[in-house]
Amino acid sequence: MPESSPLPPSSPRGSRRETRLLLLTLVVSVAVLLLLARFRFPDRQPLPALSSLSSTPDPLARMAGTGMFADMRATLTDLLQRLQLSVVVLRLTPDAPLPQIGLAADTLTGQPRLVPALRFREDLAVTLSSGRARAEVLEAGEVFDASLHAHDPSRALSVYRVPGRAMPALTVQSQANLLTTPDYFAFVEAGVGGPTLRAAFASRLDPVPDSTWNASLLAVGGLPPLPAGTLMFTLSGRLAGLVSAQQDVATIVPGETLLQAAEQLPPRAAGSSAADAGIDVQALSPALAKAASADRGVIVRHVDPAGPAARRVEVGDVITAVDADPVDAVARWLQALARRTPSTTVTLQVRRGGKVIAVPLTLAGADRALPAPSTSTSAHTGTTPPWATQPGLTLRAVNGSLDVVRVAPGSPAASAGIQPGDVITALPGRGALSNTRVAAAYQGLSSGQAMLVALERAGQPLLVSVEKP
Amino acid sequence: MNTGFDDSREIGGRDPLDARLTPPPSEPTPSDTWLRRVLRRLRMSAAFGLAPVLAPALVFVPLGALFGPQGLNLLSTRVLQHLDPVISLSLATLGVFVGLALGRRPSWNPRLFVAASIESGVTILVVSSALVFLVRAWDMPLAMPLAALALILGVSASASSATHDATPGSPDALAARIADLDDVLPIVVGALAIAAVGRPGLTSILWPAIATLGVGLAAGVIGWLLIERAHSDAERGIFVVGALALVAGGSAYLSLSPLLAGLAAGMFWNWSPGRCDTIVREDLGKFQHPVVVLMLLSAGALLEYSVMALWLFAPFVVFRLAGKLTGGWLASKLTPTLASADLSSHLLAPGLLGIAFALNAYQYLHSAEGIAALTAVVVGTLASEGVAFAVAPGEADA
């Protein structure tokens, strides 16, 4: 409208009416404001902590107590009641640690631990443990004995025989369904009074191939820290899996894989221990593989002289298979033994000196003590020639073995990881052990070739490869 | 005297189509009965075929609620999804009308525009501030920023639609002109509020708004080039509809505000050389009613009566009244030409644009808060029509 437009005559009456209306409205508005501010929005649970939050509280904290969370609480409460019969709380008191297996919770602290176990049959429950712990079932304030029914040391998977109870049918969420969308899951841990449950959102589930389980595990992102052995269920009560380890992300053994492995574990004979070959092995590193002329398998680092493999298997042998089961990792070796019972005869495929031989063995029980370290009684000081003729070791002969007195810095021996205090127990494939034999074996190597040296360090056997530069 | 705006009212006022249908209603006739006067004050006369001035929200929103998923389910959720493009089209239409209503020289009056912006700005401020205070005091759980929700409600509250009067310079005419001009600021603020949800930083908020203006201006330029060179009325009509579809579709596809894009296109057509503004205004008048009716039916069908909506509704109505009265009072004091217009009372009727703002926000906020805000605004708009009836300007003052 142009500014020159004629305007209506001034109307003081209208202006006064407008002002009165405005004042009245403002007064009423302020009163309404103060009145309404005294109320609290319904559907909010009384959460005293919220009152101390800042003006922009955390969104999850703001959501807490709403109907959504009330529904979640009711769902979890109902789920916990249903899972009471499917989950057993085990108290594991370790008898002795098992150093080469690091997954089982009961071997990590040495203290009694409570772990949840999944009752997959009326009297059998599966969990992760070293198998060397005394197990008890905590149930309704009472304590019952549980016995180890089957055990797989490579996967730290243990099946315990527990007091029989009627249990609901166990339903399993398929791995394909787990991978479809991120979702909330219920994680069951062990408490003194019974299983405890908490919900957490799994933002990512990615399949990760795992040779130990011979299946794909699930790497689950976005979870809070969870102890190994924690059971994972969907909010509808289906078994989703079991937490096997958690570093940056949790690794979950899917329910199908877990139950299949538990069902396939052979039961141990009453009073017997697991099968044992009297052999300690270690992984085939590139250096060891080069020295042993093998591309796969596990390398023998110690042979129990009183065990079934004595005089049949030598330190430095590379085991490539047990019967028809290929062995390409230490876990596979342990797994192969776990599937067999004592007194079983097996055939090892062994690569020795470039040839493959078959070695029949009758397995014994696993109660085998590791050899104690030798003690020195006499001394003989060796020399440290240049690296072309000597590996850089100062050795002392002690009752058929050689104590490492000194390792020259920068020498081939130092590069191989030999340390002062190690005890050389054998030179695989090179006959009797002596100081001069070590020097002769080394001198016999061409540049770039390596020889195997069997050691004992802190009571544990070890195999290293010393390469001539 | 021709004020230049008597044919540029947005939806809810007198438009060329209305003008062809019936004479202006303000001239008393011998048959001006009490019923006719009541209906006119309710701005529902046209709904009964008595006059062209109407408050279509009072008729079509309840019908939409009746036909909606919570009623007879004729407008089912699936149907409403198919109507979503129509909502974008109607929002763009309203934006174009607001842009065209700004007027062109010599009718463009910066002082009136400033006064209108002050009036709407104060309303936005009052409603938003009150809601921020109350929602915090209530400890109401929200999954979206409180400021954005408060701004959406404040912007929806700022819309007004004064009854048109044929008498140039009368309070009704001045109020109608202010009601035309006070929509520009809320459209811009509303677009920014929607852009602010889920976007951190000023740049990421401003960029969508700038892109929206770009889409509107580009569609405006394309439409202008086509419309000015059309050889027949039919061809011209096709180009107008096509340009409008381009504004609505482009902005909706990019998740931008069709209202702001339409405003930009309307302003361009308004100030571009030639007769583009007149042509667009005439052609849009031919199909504005069906589009707007569909929008109102959709708004009614989308209503969901929740506790949150109920709690937002009451302060929306109360503080909209306070904001409108305060804003109108301030605008009339700051602008001498409005000193005696009793502006506040004339601007209490909310019209359609508030519902359009809420629908625009709902299109991008399909959350409990978005539905609650839409329901509060739509029901609050109907209630505000009742308030406008109760606080209508006195006959002596008008």
Q: What is the CATH number of the domain that holds A285?
A: 2.30.42.10
Q: How many domains does chain B contain in total?
A: 1
Share of chain A above pLDDT 70, in %: 78
Mean pLDDT of A360-388: 51
Digit-coded pLDDT (tens) for A225-268: 888 889 999 887 889 999 887 666 788 899 988 988 888 887 77
- Of the listed ranges A353-362, A400-409, B178-187, B303-312, the least confidently predicted one is A400-409
User: What does pTM read for this prediction?
Assistant: 0.49
Q: Does residue B4 register a pLDDT over 80?
A: no
A262 and A293, same domain (yes or no) = no
Q: Does residue B396 fall inside a structural domain?
A: no
DSSP-assigned letters across all residues of B120-137: HHHHHHHHHHHHHHHHHH
Cis peptide before B106 (omega within 30 of 0): yes
Q: What is the separation of C-alpha B165 from the centre of its chain, rounded to a whole number of angstroms? A: 19
Q: Does residue A5 fall inside a structural domain?
A: no
Reported as type and span, the H/E element at residue A194 is strand A194-202
- B288: Cβ–Cβ under 8 A, 6 or more apart, which residues? B11, B15, B17, B93, B97
Tell me the chain B residues in contact with residue A2 when contact means C-beta distances shorter than 8 Å. Answer: 3-4, 106-107, 109
Q: Residue B134 is nearest to which of A14, A37, A44, comparing CB atoms?
A: A37
Q: Does residue B325 register a pLDDT over 70?
A: yes
A212 and A235, same domain (yes or no) = yes
Q: Does residue A6 fall inside a structural domain?
A: no
Q: For residue B9, what are the CA distances in angstroms to A456, A468, B17, B184?
A: 97, 96, 12, 14
A92 and A160, same domain (yes or no) = yes
CA distance B322 to A30: 10
CA distance A131 to A117: 13
- Of the listed ranges A114-118, A288-292, B85-89, B135-139, the least confidently predicted one is A288-292
Q: Does residue A447 register a pLDDT over 60?
A: yes
Tell me the chain A residues in contact with residue B343 when contact means C-beta distances shorter than 8 Å. Answer: 18
A230 and A353, same domain (yes or no) = no
CB contact under 8 Å between B322 and A25, yes or no, is: yes
- B345: Cβ–Cβ under 8 A, 6 or more apart, which residues? A18, A21, B328, B391, B392, B393
Mean pLDDT of A443-467: 81
Short-list A129, A137, A197, CA closest to A165 = A137
Q: Does residue B4 fall inside a structural domain?
A: no
Q: For residue B244, what are the CA distances in angstroms to B192, B213, B234, B249?
A: 22, 14, 15, 8
CA distance A217 to A258: 10
Digit-coded pLDDT (tens) for A382-395: 333 456 677 878 77
Q: Does residue A261 fall inside a structural domain?
A: yes
CA distance A151 to A129: 9
**In A296-331, which positions are buried (b, 16+ CB within 10 angstroms) versus exposed (e)?**
ebbbbbbbbeebbbeebbbbbbbbbbbeeeebbbbb
A60: contact with B, CB 8 A cutoff: no
Q: Residue B344 is nearest to which of A11, A22, A63, comparing CB atoms?
A: A22
Q: Does residue A56 fall inside a structural domain?
A: no
SS3 A276: strand
A334 and A441, same domain (yes or no) = no
CA distance B315 to B130: 8
CB contact under 8 Å between B139 and A40, yes or no, is: yes
- Cβ-contact A115, A128 below 8 angstroms: yes
A289 and A329, same domain (yes or no) = yes
Digit-coded pLDDT (tens) for B193-204: 887 776 667 777
A279 and A257, same domain (yes or no) = no
CA distance A216 to B125: 58
CA distance A454 to B352: 90
Backbone φ, ψ for residue A371 (5° rounding): -65, 140
- Of the listed ranges A338-342, B146-150, B204-208, the least confidently predicted one is A338-342
A432 and A402, same domain (yes or no) = yes
Helices (H), A193-350: 255-264, 286-292, 330-338
Q: Does residue A96 register a pLDDT over 60?
A: no
pLDDT band at B17 (very low <50, low <70, confident <90, very high): very low
Q: Does residue B338 fall inside a structural domain?
A: yes
| pLDDT value for B138 | 87
DSSP state of B236: H
Q: Does residue B124 register a pLDDT over 60?
A: yes
CA distance A292 to A351: 8
Q: Determine the length of chain B.
A: 398
Q: Does residue A48 fall inside a structural domain?
A: no
Mean pLDDT of A128-147: 83
- Cβ-contact A328, A345 below 8 angstroms: no
CB contact under 8 Å between A29 and B1, yes or no, is: no
Q: For residue B357, what are the CA distances in angstroms to A296, B90, B124, B194, B331?
A: 70, 11, 13, 10, 23
DSSP state of A369: P
- Dihedral through CA B120, CA B123, CA B124, CA B130, nearest 10? 180
| Domain final residue, candidates A348, A365, A382 | A365
pLDDT band at A156 (very low <50, low <70, confident <90, very high): confident
Q: Does residue B244 fall inside a structural domain?
A: yes
Q: Does residue B238 fall inside a structural domain?
A: yes
| pLDDT value for B320 | 92
CA distance A330 to A211: 11
Q: Does residue A355 fall inside a structural domain?
A: yes
| pLDDT value for B167 | 64
| Domain final residue, candidates A244, A267, A290 | A267
Tell me the chain B residues in contact with residue A15 when contact means C-beta distances shorter than 8 Å. Answer: 339-340, 342
A124 and A224, same domain (yes or no) = yes
Considering A26-35, A243-252, A375-384, B8-17, the range whose residues carry the highest mean pLDDT is A26-35
What does the block give as tokens for A121? 């049959």
Mean pLDDT of A50-65: 41
Taking each helix axis as running N to C, give the angle between helix B184-196 and helix B146-158, from 0 to 180 degrees, rounded to the nearest 10.
Answer: 160
Mean pLDDT of A405-409: 76
Q: Would the CA dihedral through B212, B216, B221, B226 be positive or negative?
A: positive
CB contact under 8 Å between B342 and A19, yes or no, is: no
A329 and A447, same domain (yes or no) = no
Residue whose pair of structure tokens reads 């011998």 in the numeric block: B30
Residues A148, A153, A156: CA angle, nearest 5 degrees? 80
Considering A16-20, A422-426, B86-90, B177-181, the range whose residues carry the highest mean pLDDT is B86-90
Considering A51-60, B22-31, B132-141, the range whose residues carry the highest mean pLDDT is B132-141
Tell me the chain B residues in contact with residue A36 when contact means C-beta distances shorter than 8 Å. Answer: 134, 137-138, 314-315
Q: Does residue A132 fall inside a structural domain?
A: yes
DSSP-assigned letters across all residues of A117-180: EEEEETTEEEEE--S-EEEEEEETTEEEEEEEEEEETTTTEEEEE------PPPPB--HHHHTT
Q: Does residue B123 register a pLDDT over 50?
A: yes
- B395: Cβ–Cβ under 8 A, 6 or more apart, which residues? none
DSSP state of A424: E
A105 and A168, same domain (yes or no) = yes
| pLDDT value for B163 | 59
Q: Does residue B286 fall inside a structural domain?
A: yes
DSSP state of A24: H
Q: How many domains does chain A contain in total?
A: 3
Q: Does residue B216 register a pLDDT over 90?
A: yes
The type of residue at B319 is F
Helices (H), chain B: 16-21, 34-41, 56-67, 77-101, 110-138, 146-158, 171-181, 184-196, 202-228, 233-253, 258-271, 276-302, 307-334, 343-346, 353-364, 368-390
Q: Residue A3 is nearest to which of B109, B139, B318, comparing CB atoms?
A: B109
pLDDT band at B223 (very low <50, low <70, confident <90, very high): very high
CA distance A463 to chain B (A): 58
CATH of residue A233: 2.40.10.120
Q: Would the CA dihedral through A222, A226, A229, A232 be positive or negative?
A: negative
CATH of residue B97: 1.20.1530
CA distance A61 to chain B (A): 9
Mean pLDDT of B56-85: 87
Return the higher-pLDDT residue of B16 and B76. B76
What's the mean per-residue pLDDT of chain B?
Answer: 79
B110: contact with A, CB 8 A cutoff: no
Q: Does residue A38 fall inside a structural domain?
A: no
| pLDDT value for A366 | 57
| Domain final residue, candidates A267, A297, A322 | A267
What is the span of the domain harbouring residue B203? Answer: 16-22+41-390
Q: How many CB atoms are located within 10 Å of the residue A176 CB?
A: 9
Distance between the two ends of chain A, CA-based, in angstroms? Answer: 98
Chains A and B form CB pairs within 8 A to the count of: 128
DSSP state of B74: S
The predicted complex's ipTM stands at: 0.73
Q: Would the CA dihedral through B362, B366, B372, B375 be positive or negative?
A: positive
What does the block give as tokens for A116? 């949840």
What is the span of the domain harbouring residue A425? Answer: 393-467
Q: Does residue A117 register a pLDDT over 90?
A: yes
Q: Does residue B285 fall inside a structural domain?
A: yes
A152 and A289, same domain (yes or no) = no
